[in-house]
Chains A and B, each alone.
Chain A
């Protein structure tokens, strides 16, 4: 094996001159460039600008005043920011748990459906592709205090009307109901894909061994769905941490500034809604940018947790 340093280039790429290499690589870079161009213009540049803005005081027009770390100091002592963080986490929990549960049930039902299964799949995907704003307006009617369907159901159960959107927990229920509604079908399809990847033979053996439905589900189905459930949790975590539209549409009618945004007791004020209100309603772009970076750090933190948890699972397997 003497004389060989590393593997030989298979296509002889290394033996080419720089200009020849350039010539061959150019189409590849060309094919990749649109993404990087758009990322640069609409992703990286705004991010860098936002980072710079976080150290300033700017109304969106006119002079930008550099104020150092003042905004960050304020962020750490801002009760409204921590309230919005807490709201976001609560809404994430209230949205993700029912979404996962319902999606699993729906997927199991779809999996055992013989007829019209494509029709069902299309129907379940519709909420996910419908405009959130339109559904937000619809949901504000469903949860209206006098005439909403939510209250009609409650009346059937023998309870009095609840003013959902004027109640701190009612707002959260309405927002997470909207989140659940829009994501349950999509997630059901992901889980369905996971279900169909499970080897049918295992169910047959379980049936031969006399396992009942519950045992089959908890011993065979659920463990093998774990990767897909982690994937959905990761997606919904990132999505929920940045949720905005649901809360904005359901609580916008009375807000004049950030401190009154998100409905009664700011209970629907998510982090992104807070940053939006500060920057675009109150023209405080500097502090708005600081909050946006706060959101970024929180999202990074939770993504890291997710990543660590899923990585450990893989290591245990091997």
Chain B
């Protein structure tokens, strides 16, 4: 009895812990208040939208209430682990919202549970499909062609860098020149070595795991393919592994973990004058290193861009009026409102039409007045569609664990690779993925 009561208390503490951590990690730029009721007359149909702490900005919510006086939209901010709470509500079969957000990293999981969502193709999603980027749209399409969500934003990656530090080190510092100088990873590593030679203790890359992630995503294939076969031991991952190890061996990796005090301090002091990131990473930089405002630029990183994050709006099955929900989603996620959201919190639009709008195409002060949307817009067009299986993270975790060991304790990379493949194969078998 004691045991179970204790574990209950522990569980509660864990839950609170998550809330705390989630609250801290939740993107820094954040967030309007908790509940944002928008105006609406007494007889307006009330609609509930579930979202996470960043939520939708005031401007969008106001646009909704003036466009649709017949609806009264309430935005409920769900803190903590969003996916767990949505899952629990699905299981409870009551209290579901009319519209719910689904985070990009959770969409693969929910794609296997399509029966809990309204297939948006049955209520007109096909008509607006061409407005959105194909690869992002496809993330919310099931194998049998159901459309579960409409993309809110995307996270095409680019290289943020301190142009003042690069200039001092005698490196190319104009975004176009720099991008041209680092088309390949080898060129990028050479540039890093030049940087550290001129400025000792200044690293071009944050950590090996992050480098590995960017490179394997560039291959357009992950660790499990569309036929549910484990492909993590194949060449495309091995090449990414070797590239990451090469970067580490070149001595240009700071080995700092992301989201730590050390990393923030290094960014502040110019010891980490470059960082891969999606457009929303700008918000992290603004919070981590406010003193460096105006000294950053952004340019294409070596190879093609990858995607990090970007979420969806969905309609849970059983919502009282799916047609009305869809009408609202269509409006909330139209190019103009996405442009407002970019201005509000740096969420990059999933609709190319928004890239040209003044809210998006304007100069960004933190980036030294650069028009960042040009870079991210081009990046968005080079992102390769990447199939993500619900078990992707389970199966790729051993690779991250092993590359960490290479970085932290100098484990032999070949031995680490073999151990990673072995552990991943074991996990793949356990979760029912075919291993050939």
A57 to B423, CA, bound (A): 20
Whether A166 lies near B257 (C-beta < 8 A) is yes
Whether B1 lies near A39 (C-beta < 8 A) is yes
**Is B125 at the interface (CB under 8 A from chain A)?**
no
**Is A124 at the interface (CB under 8 A from chain B)?**
no
Give chain B interface residues in 256-290, CB to chain A under 8 Å: 256-262, 265-266
Whether A258 lies near B116 (C-beta < 8 A) is no
- Chain A residues lying within 8 Å of B408, measured Cβ to Cβ, are 163, 166-168, 264-265
Given contacts A39-B5, A59-B390, contact A252 B21 (CB under 8 A): yes
9-residue interface stretch from B10-18, B33-41, B53-61, B181-189: B10-18
A13 to B24, CA, bound (A): 60
- Chain A residues lying within 8 Å of B390, measured Cβ to Cβ, are 59, 283
Whether A61 lies near B5 (C-beta < 8 A) is no
Given contacts A61-B91, A132-B17, A140-B261, contact A265 B401 (CB under 8 A): yes
Chain A interface size, under 10 / 10 to 19 / 20 to 34 / 35 or more: 35 or more
Given contacts A131-B20, A256-B397, contact A264 B7 (CB under 8 A): no
Of all chain A residues, which has the CB nearest B213? A256
A276 to B21, CA, bound (A): 15
Whether B8 lies near A43 (C-beta < 8 A) is yes
**Is B2 at the interface (CB under 8 A from chain A)?**
yes
Give chain A interface residues in 152-168, CB to chain B under 8 Å: 163, 165-168
**Is A28 at the interface (CB under 8 A from chain B)?**
no
Q: Among A61, A245, A255, A296, point to the contact of B397 (Cβ < 8 A).
A: A255
Q: In the complex, how many angstroms separate the beta carbon of B287 from the nearest chain A beta carbon?
A: 15
Given contacts A163-B255, A165-B257, A259-B427, contact A145 B4 (CB under 8 A): no
A238 to B91, CA, bound (A): 33
Majority secondary structure of chain B interface residues (helix, strand, loop or mixed): helix
Q: Mark A253-286, 1 if CB is under 8 A from B, else 0.
A: 1111111110011100000100010001111100
**Is B6 at the interface (CB under 8 A from chain A)?**
yes
Given contacts A132-B13, A248-B14, A256-B396, contact A137 B24 (CB under 8 A): yes
Whether B4 lies near A43 (C-beta < 8 A) is yes
Q: Mark A32-71, 1 if CB is under 8 A from B, else 0.
A: 0000000100111011000000000101111000000000
Of all chain B residues, which has the CB nearest A137? B24
- Chain A residues lying within 8 Å of B401, measured Cβ to Cβ, are 259-260, 265-266
Whether B427 lies near A280 (C-beta < 8 A) is no
Whether B10 lies near A282 (C-beta < 8 A) is no
- Chain B residues lying within 8 Å of A134, measured Cβ to Cβ, are 20
Whether B113 lies near A254 (C-beta < 8 A) is no
Give chain A interface residues in 281-306, CB to chain B under 8 Å: 281-284, 287, 296, 299-300, 303
Whether B10 lies near A242 (C-beta < 8 A) is yes
Whether A165 lies near B87 (C-beta < 8 A) is no
Whether B397 lies near A260 (C-beta < 8 A) is yes
- Chain A residues lying within 8 Å of B257, measured Cβ to Cβ, are 165-166, 253-254
Name the residue in A61, A134, A168, A244 with the highest tally of chain B Cβ atoms < 10 Å from its Cβ.
A61
**Is A309 at the interface (CB under 8 A from chain B)?**
no
Name the residue in B4, B5, B423, B432 with the highest tally of chain A Cβ atoms < 10 Å from its Cβ.
B4
Majority secondary structure of chain A interface residues (helix, strand, loop or mixed): helix
Chain B interface size, under 10 / 10 to 19 / 20 to 34 / 35 or more: 35 or more
Whether A242 lies near B6 (C-beta < 8 A) is yes
A168 to B90, CA, bound (A): 40
Whether B16 lies near A147 (C-beta < 8 A) is no
Given contacts A43-B1, A44-B4, A287-B430, contact A60 B87 (CB under 8 A): yes
A167 to B431, CA, bound (A): 30
A276 to B7, CA, bound (A): 12
A167 to B410, CA, bound (A): 11
**Is A221 at the interface (CB under 8 A from chain B)?**
no
- Chain A residues lying within 8 Å of B14, measured Cβ to Cβ, are 244-245, 248, 276
**Is B109 at the interface (CB under 8 A from chain A)?**
yes
A115 to B374, CA, bound (A): 69
Of all chain A residues, which has the CB nearest B256? A145
Q: In the complex, how many angstroms separate the beta carbon of A92 from the nearest chain B beta carbon?
A: 15
Q: In the complex, how many angstroms separate the beta carbon of A209 from the nearest chain B beta carbon?
A: 43
Whether A47 lies near B4 (C-beta < 8 A) is yes
Q: Among B84, B262, B394, B409, point to the contact of A257 (Cβ < 8 A).
A: B394
**Is B131 at the interface (CB under 8 A from chain A)?**
no
A24 to B401, CA, bound (A): 63
A299 to B407, CA, bound (A): 35
Given contacts A244-B14, A249-B21, contact A257 B396 (CB under 8 A): yes
Whether A260 lies near B398 (C-beta < 8 A) is yes
- Chain A residues lying within 8 Å of B427, measured Cβ to Cβ, are 259
- Chain A residues lying within 8 Å of B66, measured Cβ to Cβ, are none
**Is B209 at the interface (CB under 8 A from chain A)?**
yes
Q: Among A148, A166, A239, A242, point to the contact of B255 (Cβ < 8 A).
A: A166
**Is B393 at the interface (CB under 8 A from chain A)?**
yes
A260 to B259, CA, bound (A): 16
Given contacts A146-B262, A299-B3, contact A260 B20 (CB under 8 A): no
**Is A216 at the interface (CB under 8 A from chain B)?**
no
**Is B112 at the interface (CB under 8 A from chain A)?**
yes
**Is B228 at the interface (CB under 8 A from chain A)?**
no
**Is A111 at the interface (CB under 8 A from chain B)?**
no
Whether B397 lies near A133 (C-beta < 8 A) is no
Those 6 A-B pairs whose CB atoms lie nearest each other, nearest first: A257-B397, A259-B397, A260-B401, A260-B397, A133-B20, A257-B393
Chain B positions within 8 Å of A, measured between CB atoms, are: 1-8, 10, 13-14, 16-17, 20-21, 24, 81, 84, 87, 90-91, 109, 112-113, 115-116, 207, 209, 255-262, 265-266, 390-391, 393-398, 400-401, 404-405, 407-409, 423-424, 427, 430-432
> Other than the known A39-B1, A257-B397, what 12 A-B pairs have Cβ atoms closer than 8 Å?
A59-B390, A131-B20, A165-B260, A239-B6, A242-B10, A248-B21, A249-B21, A254-B257, A254-B258, A255-B397, A257-B395, A282-B393
